[in-house]
Chains A and B, each alone.
Chain A
């Protein structure tokens, strides 16, 4: 209920963002129920135009584009979400450790992260995938590790500020362990900036997954996924058939939606502090 009160007071931009996210999540969860055809079912001609049977036309193998888009939401979003979650688990844990332990642990972790950040992410990912081969688990781990460096920076900085507070000092003097302090003192206070960061990192990871799939190195056919759908149908555009624009637009729309909500959240978080 508190959520609905917030939404009622939210600006129109945030409402649009929330609506976009809700639509995507709905499509992702209920894909098999709302999609008119099966994910890999061939139902018509190659690149058939829009019709009552195929609202957005068909793709390069004659599969229904709307169906592919709906299943694509499921695969692409789930993958990006899992990757972001893993990145946060690794990044914030390392960041909190570095901040609470300090000393050489902090030095070592910070330097490692600095060096990874100095490496261009796309090139790093491409090189790793060339060695271990393209697979979904490999992609998740690589992107999550690369992305966790940014989470590390933020969570370390936030935890440093909290670490010097009296209540952490009090907990230390009570003889609480480092896990307890991280779980009960630092984490709750670090939540607002981390939640906003989650949104931003999700956008980044989502675009990264889409780019890798677009390059043919991410999710492999016949699984529906927005990035590879753009790639597979790219040839159509020179015939004046704008099919690859649909999945590309879906990617752009979701990113804009998440950004709008993050902006609103950051605005609220800064307003609360004043």
Chain B
């Protein structure tokens, strides 16, 4: 096997192991609950009948490893069981909410990725200029702010004062695309600001790192034009770290939607997860958590594999 394939294979194997461990942890987490889950969750309503029904619902009467395998195979087939709080199938609760969350994250990514790569390259090329220092101060402040602070500032200015955008983003399938985009403007802007700050700083750092490498100095000393140095020599080497940065931030974005969804009462998976945690609707939490974690792990995996593939030094082994 070529070293490139071997690296990719190892990374995918680690990703698969991580997913397996995560699913076991999520499953065992419920097992480790002190006392009986049924009584803990039912609380005041724990009559013998409700406890028995509850235990059957969660299949607590079977041995642990059988339950784990049954739970996992149901999960893979898209059957997440029933919600404890309203008894409805979880798949029906989750499907459209997850699509909504992905819509929000994708919209934010579509704005944030080009913006932050452009800003990052410009800041790296004109390092220590006024432009670079302003951008770096603004992004540093942005990173220090909690997401909900940025969100409420936007609401205060754009929604409460100017009345331009709705402070509650409610979307449904009947809406045409532009109405949906209008409805998610504020949550999308919040996410974009947070992610752009991170992504732009990392892009800038990795490009500066490459501009300082000996082969760039060599290219400059050969008398090559600045544009040629950047496009032919720096860019292919910068691609790998930049792709990595983008994929990592997409992973961050998918999880970052949780708080923003709560602020804007957006009908997404994050909102459902938080509600279910406070209601202690454990099957819903398990399903939503596993979906979030899987998406996150897969995007991280994608980041690493793309970084390996796009690295010219790994692609052309000696």
**Are A230 and B159 also in contact (CB < 8 A) when A126-B285, A127-B26, A217-B274 are?**
no
**Are A129 and B277 also in contact (CB < 8 A) when A234-B263, A242-B156 are?**
yes
Interface size on A, residues (CB 8 A): 42
Q: How far is the CA of A248 from the CA of B154 in the complex (A)?
A: 13
Contact among B33, B152, B153 with A234 in the assembled complex (CB-CB below 8 Å):
B152
**Are A123 and B293 also in contact (CB < 8 A) when A130-B276, A215-B262, A215-B274 are?**
yes
Q: How far is the CA of A184 from the CA of B225 in the complex (A)?
A: 55
Q: Which residues of B contact A256 (CB under 8 A)?
A: 141, 144
Which residues of chain B in 242-259 are interfacial with respect to chain A, using CB atoms and an 8 Å cutoff? 251, 255, 258-259
Chain B residue nearest to A251 in the complex (CB): B146
Contact among A126, A211, A238, A242 with B273 in the assembled complex (CB-CB below 8 Å):
A126
Q: Chain B's nearest CB lies how many Å from the CB of A224?
A: 17
Q: Which residues of A contact B99 (CB under 8 A)?
A: none
Contact among A127, A242, A248 with B29 in the assembled complex (CB-CB below 8 Å):
A127
Interface residue range, chain B: 35 or more
Query: Can you list, as one digit per residue, whether each of A122-137 has a CB less than 8 Å from chain B (1) or not (0)?
Result: 1110111111111000
Tell me whether B146 and A210 are in contact (CB under 8 A). yes
A259 within 8 A of partner (CB): yes
Q: How far is the CA of A242 from the CA of B149 in the complex (A)?
A: 12
Q: How far is the CA of A134 from the CA of B300 in the complex (A)?
A: 29
**Are A252 and B146 also in contact (CB < 8 A) when A120-B293, A126-B274, A127-B289 are?**
yes
Chain A residue nearest to B17 in the complex (CB): A115
Q: How far is the CA of A126 from the CA of B276 in the complex (A)?
A: 10
Tell me whether B140 and A259 are in contact (CB under 8 A). yes
Q: Chain A's nearest CB lies how many Å from the CB of B153?
A: 7
B71 within 8 A of partner (CB): no
Tell me whether B29 and A123 are in contact (CB under 8 A). no
Q: Which residues of B contact A109 (CB under 8 A)?
A: none
B173 within 8 A of partner (CB): no
Q: Which residues of B contact A230 (CB under 8 A)?
A: 148-149, 152
Q: Which residues of B contact A128 (CB under 8 A)?
A: 29
Tell me whether A211 and B149 are in contact (CB under 8 A). no
Tell me whether A115 and B18 are in contact (CB under 8 A). yes
A216 within 8 A of partner (CB): yes
Tell me whether B145 and A211 are in contact (CB under 8 A). no
Q: Which residues of A contact B21 (CB under 8 A)?
A: 115
Can you sample 17 A-B contacts with CB below 8 Å? A114-B14, A118-B18, A123-B296, A126-B277, A126-B289, A127-B289, A128-B29, A129-B277, A130-B277, A237-B167, A238-B167, A248-B148, A248-B149, A249-B149, A251-B145, A255-B144, A256-B141
Q: Give the 10 A-B CB pairs with smallest separation, nearest first.
A: A248-B149, A255-B144, A130-B277, A120-B255, A130-B285, A118-B18, A120-B296, A252-B145, A127-B289, A256-B144
Can you add 19 more A-B contacts, CB < 8 Å, to A126-B258, A214-B146? A115-B22, A118-B18, A118-B297, A118-B300, A123-B289, A127-B29, A130-B282, A130-B285, A131-B32, A132-B33, A216-B274, A237-B160, A237-B167, A238-B167, A239-B160, A248-B149, A251-B149, A252-B145, A252-B149
